[in-house]
């Protein structure tokens, strides 16, 4: 059987369509747009770095434009989302709770360490059980409710014991995040947060959960390869050819080829009507925006390199002397291409959005249209942060002059 072959540009278009980055927002965002965007991506990664808006809020801004960040918090508190280890720590639509429940019941498959400190659990079982009973009897708690004997901690490796206990119970599914207050987790027992859940009645078979996670991944990626599946939900590291072809045989996926690639790619059948237009160049992304380092478009370095010819690594965990681009670089998405990155910082007290450095990819030409689009994207981002004044450090001269000349 001869498979339809599409250019890489069409694969990018299908991916961005799936991610909600095909066209700019046509109206002002409303609260329901937040949960719709998360369902489209299947999950929203959580990170606490705050040099610009924290990543989950920023990922939504990239898709929705200016919106009210508290809407995300409200969706969690209202039970439309839950938190768990999916890609990493993520907000996940509550209807997918059962897909991740197997990890809670047997967390060893996630790998031992800080996600599930099995040795800590074994050594502190009595204290952990006592804390669980305390929450069950007295109500929700925060890690901040417990004092630390020796001052402030230096990171997750130096958490106070109660924080580690809470995280262990969270990984085991005994506690869930009821809400967040100033982005700090408030924990309660799972039976109060999700009283309607019953493992005996509601838990899907492991094979069914896996099939659904693979299908969710394809829907979120728009175009998927077998070697891209494992990363999205942190599944077992292997090829998923069998599961993908089974979905294709059932009519859920269409099998294609991409020019220059040896591997089959799989496209959700709901995108079937877009394939020809994307392949012929009649359908292209018209979005220009900044992305979070933890955006699904770039969180898989190999996938971003293959799809966009863009080598992206998060450098906030790299020692400063070894950084190539900067601490918290925001990829620049421009009309279907990743054209560069900006190391940014929002100085909220002074109202300044600092562009410490701007690095464009080799071969990117700063034309009038590109400058206009990038200027608008940066300006909207700065205004949403409440830091409307731009300050530019290292940047291509023509780009810096164009940004500053605009006001």
* In a shared domain, residues 343 and 205: no
pTM given for the model:
0.95
Residue 157 belongs to a domain: no
- Whichever domain contains 351, its CATH number is 3.40.630
* In a shared domain, residues 273 and 379: no
The reported pLDDT for the residue numbered 239 is 93
Tens-digit pLDDT string for the chain (407 aa): 578 999 999 999 999 999 999 999 999 999 999 999 999 999 999 999 999 999 999 999 999 999 999 999 999 999 999 999 999 999 999 999 999 999 999 998 776 566 888 899 999 999 999 999 999 999 999 999 987 656 555 554 456 899 999 999 999 999 999 999 999 999 999 999 999 999 999 999 999 999 999 999 999 999 999 999 999 999 999 999 999 999 999 999 999 999 999 999 999 999 999 999 999 999 999 999 999 999 999 999 999 999 999 999 999 989 999 999 999 999 999 999 999 999 999 999 999 999 999 999 999 999 999 999 999 999 999 999 999 999 999 999 989 988 887 65
* In a shared domain, residues 235 and 349: no
* In a shared domain, residues 281 and 317: no
* In a shared domain, residues 273 and 354: no
* In a shared domain, residues 222 and 272: yes
Residue 361 belongs to a domain: yes
Residue 152 belongs to a domain: no
* In a shared domain, residues 271 and 321: no
Residue 260 belongs to a domain: yes
The reported pLDDT for the residue numbered 112 is 53
* In a shared domain, residues 193 and 322: no
**The total number of structural domains that make up the chain:** 2
* In a shared domain, residues 76 and 208: yes
The reported pLDDT for the residue numbered 232 is 98
* In a shared domain, residues 276 and 363: no
* In a shared domain, residues 334 and 392: yes
* In a shared domain, residues 281 and 376: no
Could you list the residue range(s) of the whole structural domain that residue 11 is in?
1-112+177-285
Residue 303 belongs to a domain: no
Cα 91 to Cα 46, 87, 329, distances in angstroms: 7, 10, 23
The reported pLDDT for the residue numbered 157 is 47
């Amino acid at each position: 059987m001869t498979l339809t072959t599409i250019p890489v540009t069409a694969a990018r278009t299908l991916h961005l369509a799936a991610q909600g980055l095909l066209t700019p927002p046509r109206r002002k965002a409303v609260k329901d747009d937040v949960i719709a965007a998360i369902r489209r991506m299947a999950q929203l990664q959580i990170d606490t770095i705050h040099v610009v808006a924290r990543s989950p809020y920023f990922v939504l801004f990239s898709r929705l434009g200016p919106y009210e960040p508290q809407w995300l918090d409200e969706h969690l508190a209202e039970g439309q989302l839950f938190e768990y280890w999916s890609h990493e720590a993520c907000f996940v639509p509550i209807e997918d709770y059962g897909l991740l429940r197997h990890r809670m019941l047997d967390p060893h498959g996630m790998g031992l360490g800080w996600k599930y400190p099995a040795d800590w659990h074994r050594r502190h079982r009595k204290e952990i059980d006592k804390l669980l009973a305390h929450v069950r009897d007295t109500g929700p708690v925060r890690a901040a409710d417990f004092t630390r004997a020796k001052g402030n901690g230096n990171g997750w490796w130096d958490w106070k014991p109660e924080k580690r206990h809470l995280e262990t119970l969270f990984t085991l599914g005994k506690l869930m995040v009821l809400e967040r207050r100033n982005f700090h987790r408030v924990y309660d027992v799972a039976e109060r947060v999700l009283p309607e859940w019953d493992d005996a009645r509601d838990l899907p078979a492991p094979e069914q959960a896996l099939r659904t996670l693979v299908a969710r991944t394809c829907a979120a990626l728009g175009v998927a390869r077998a070697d891209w599946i494992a990363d999205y939900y942190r599944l077992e590291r292997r090829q998923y050819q069998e599961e993908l072809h089974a979905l294709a045989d059932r009519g859920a996926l269409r099998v294609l080829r991409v020019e220059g690639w040896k591997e089959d790619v799989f496209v959700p059948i709901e995108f079937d009507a877009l394939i020809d237009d994307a392949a012929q160049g009649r359908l292209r992304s018209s979005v220009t925006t900044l992305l979070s380092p933890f955006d699904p478009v770039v969180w898989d370095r190999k996938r971003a390199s293959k799809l966009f010819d863009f080598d992206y690594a998060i450098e906030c965990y790299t020692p400063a002397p070894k950084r190539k681009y900067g601490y918290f670089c925001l990829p620049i998405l421009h009309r279907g291409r990743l054209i560069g990155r900006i190391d940014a910082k929002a100085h909220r007290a002074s109202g300044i959005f600092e562009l410490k450095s701007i690095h464009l990819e080799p071969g990117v030409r700063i034309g009038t249209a590109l400058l206009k689009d990038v200027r608008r994207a940066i300006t909207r981002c700065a205004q949403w942060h409440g830091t409307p004044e731009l300050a530019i450090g290292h940047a291509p001269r023509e780009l810096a002059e164009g940004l500053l000349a605009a006001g």
